[in-house]
Amino acid sequence: MEEFSILIGGQAGDGIKQAGNAIARVFNRLGYWIFVYEDYPSLIRGGHNFAMVRASSERIASHRDGIDALVALNQEAVDRHSWRLGEDSVVIFDSDTAKAEGLGIPMSGIVKRRGLPAILRNAIALGALAAVLGIGLDVVEDAIRAAVDKRVEENLEAAREGYGIANGSPWAAEGRRVERVPGGPRPLLTGNEALALGLARGGMKIYAAYPMTPTSALLHYIAAHEDELGAIAIHPESEIAVIGIAQGAAYAGIRSAVGTSGGGFSLMVEHISLAGQAEIPTVIVLGQRLDPATGAPTYTKQGNLFFAMFAGHGEFPRAVLAPGDANEAFHLAAEAMNLAWRFQIPVIILSDKHLSESTFSFHFDISRAATEPPKLWDGAGEYRRYAQTEDGISPLAFPGGGAVVKANSYEHDEFGITTEDADLIAKAQDKRLRKAKALEEYVNGKEMVSVEGDPEGKIALLFWGSTKGAAAEVAERIGARAIQPLCLMPLPKRELEERLEGAERVVGIEGNSRGQFCGWLRCHGIQVDGVVLKYDGRPFAADELEERVRRSLR
Partner 1 sequence: MRASDLKTYAKNTWCPGCGNFAIELAARQAFVELMEEGKLKIENLVVLSGIGCHAKMSDYLRANSFYSLHGRVVAPATGVKLANPELTVVGFAGDGDAYGEGLEHLVFAAKRNVGISMIIHDNGVYGLTTGQFTPTSPPGFQGKSTPRGSPEDPMNPIALMLSSGATFVARAFSGNLQHLKGMIREAITHRGFSIVDVLQPCVTFRNTWDFFSKRVYDLQERGHDASNWNEAMERAREWDYGGGAGEIPIGIFYRAERPTFEDRVLRGRRPRELPMPELEKVLKGHV
Give the residues lining the site for partner 1 (CB under 8 A): 25, 28, 146, 185-189, 193, 197, 200-201, 205-206, 208, 225, 228-232, 234, 236-238, 240-254, 256, 270-271, 274, 278, 362, 366, 371, 398-410, 415-418
Check: CB of residue 8 under 8 Å from CB of residue 71.
yes
DSSP state letter for 393 = P
| Of 200 and 488, CB closest to partner 1 | 200
Check: CB of residue 166 under 8 Å from CB of residue 103.
yes
Closest CA to 204 of 186, 225, 181, 189: 225
Q: What is the nearest approach in angstroms of partner 1 to the Cβ of residue 22? A: 13
| Of 205 and 427, CB closest to partner 1 | 205
Closest CA to 510 of 459, 451, 543, 465: 465
First-to-last alpha carbon distance for the chain, in angstroms, is: 28
CA angle 403, 404, 405 (to 5 degrees): 100
Q: What is the nearest approach in angstroms of partner 1 to the Cβ of residue 247? A: 6
Closest CA to 27 of 166, 129, 163, 149: 129
| Of 254 and 526, CB closest to partner 1 | 254
Q: How far apart are CA 65 and CA 71, in angstroms?
A: 15
| Of 109 and 402, CB closest to partner 1 | 402
Distances (CA, A) of 412 to 317, 347, 379, 420, 429: 17, 22, 22, 8, 10
Q: What is the nearest approach in angstroms of partner 1 to the Cβ of residue 404? A: 6
Residues ≥6 apart with Cβ < 8 Å to 554: none
Q: How far apart are CA 68 and CA 89, in angstroms?
A: 4
Q: What is the nearest approach in angstroms of partner 1 to the Cβ of residue 284? A: 15
Q: What is the nearest approach in angstroms of partner 1 to the Cβ of residue 245? A: 4
Residues ≥6 apart with Cβ < 8 Å to 177: 133, 134
Q: What is the nearest approach in angstroms of partner 1 to the Cβ of residue 316? A: 15
| Of 154 and 239, CB closest to partner 1 | 239
Give DSSP secondary structure letters for 366-384. GGG-------B----SS--
Q: How far apart are CA 434 and CA 438, in angstroms?
A: 6
Q: How far apart are CA 15 and CA 73, in angstroms?
A: 10
| Of 143 and 449, CB closest to partner 1 | 143
Q: What is the nearest approach in angstroms of partner 1 to the Cβ of residue 10? A: 25
| Of 120 and 199, CB closest to partner 1 | 199
| Of 88 and 227, CB closest to partner 1 | 227
Q: How far apart are CA 441 and CA 436, in angstroms?
A: 9
| Of 98 and 326, CB closest to partner 1 | 326
Q: What is the nearest approach in angstroms of partner 1 to the Cβ of residue 384? A: 12
Q: What is the nearest approach in angstroms of partner 1 to the Cβ of residue 188? A: 5
Amino acid, single-letter form, for residue 271: H
| Of 119 and 189, CB closest to partner 1 | 189
Q: How far apart are CA 141 and CA 161, in angstroms?
A: 12
Strands 46-56 and 3-12: antiparallel
| Of 229 and 471, CB closest to partner 1 | 229
